[in-house]
Amino acid sequence: MRVTCTVNGERQQADDVREGESLLYVLRERMGLPGSKNACEQGECGSCTVYLDGAPVCACLVAAGQAQGRDVVTVEGLTEGEDLDPVQEAFVEAGAVQCGFCTPGLVVATHDLLRRRRRPDDTEVREALAGNLCRCTGYEKILDAVRLAADRAADRVAG
């Protein structure tokens, strides 16, 4: 079947999509957007987190046909031209990236959190990122990155 949706602001079309195929597979293998990672395929790890109509979801658990006509934003869509999103910058600067496999999902989940809560406390951060597994960092640097991104966003608003 054919699936047409908006991905990162552009209309995208995929043909010969299998009916049981996931949105994640379509993004990675048919639309050339490998940012969202395929790890557990059961919603446990959060590495494939994307926005679907503005809500963060695991792309591996969305049937491709369910995305027909919907608006999808992947980690690739968070950058503005060549500029990284402030969340992405904070992850780089805080050393929150090791192997990098979990990073796209964590970046999207953090992006969503900071849209909803300008100054999340640590409990809120842990809760918001509870669906994203990282096996390298021990999470401390990731928490640092979220705090850094939140501080910078608050400074920008204040400044």
Partner 1 sequence: MDFLQPTSWLDALAVKSERPEAMPIAGGTDVMVELNFDVRRPAALLDLTRVPELAEWAVYDGRVRLGAAVTYTQVIAELTDRLPGLAIASRTVGSPQIRNRGTVGGNLGAASPAGDSHPILLAVDAEVEAASVTGTRRIPVAEFFTGVKRHALRPDELIAAVWVPAATGPQQFCKIGTRNAMVIAVTAFAIALHPERRRVGTGFGSAAATPRPAPEAEEFLSQALAEEGLWESRAAPRDSVVRRFGELVADAASPIDDVRGTAGYRRHGLQVMARRAFTWAWNDYRKA
- CA nearest neighbour of 48 among 114, 106, 115, 90: 106
Work out the angle at residue 113's Cα, subtended by the Cα atoms of residues 108 and 118, and round it to the nearest 5 degrees.
Answer: 130
Which position among 13, 18, 92, 115 is part of the footprint of partner 1 (CB under 8 A)? 18
- CA nearest neighbour of 124 among 138, 137, 112, 134: 112
- Told to check if 122 binds partner 1 by CB under 8 A, we report no
- Told to check if 41 binds partner 1 by CB under 8 A, we report yes
- CA nearest neighbour of 156 among 98, 104, 114, 93: 114
Pairwise CA distance, residues 36 & 154, whole Å:
28
- 69 or 95: whose CB is closer to partner 1? 69
Q: Which token pair is 4?
A: 């047409």
The residues in 61-120 that bind partner 1, with binding defined as CB under 8 A, are 61-63, 65-66, 68, 109, 112
- In whole angstroms, the minimum distance from the beta carbon of 70 to partner 1 comes to 9
Length of the chain in terms of residues written: 159
Which position among 12, 74, 88, 132 is part of the footprint of partner 1 (CB under 8 A)? 132
- Told to check if 130 binds partner 1 by CB under 8 A, we report yes
For 155, residues 6+ apart whose C-beta sits below 8 A from its C-beta are: none
- In whole angstroms, the minimum distance from the beta carbon of 54 to partner 1 comes to 10
- 13 or 95: whose CB is closer to partner 1? 13
Residues that bind partner 1 (CB under 8 A): 1, 18-20, 22, 41-44, 46, 49, 55-58, 60-63, 65-66, 68, 109, 112, 127-128, 130-132
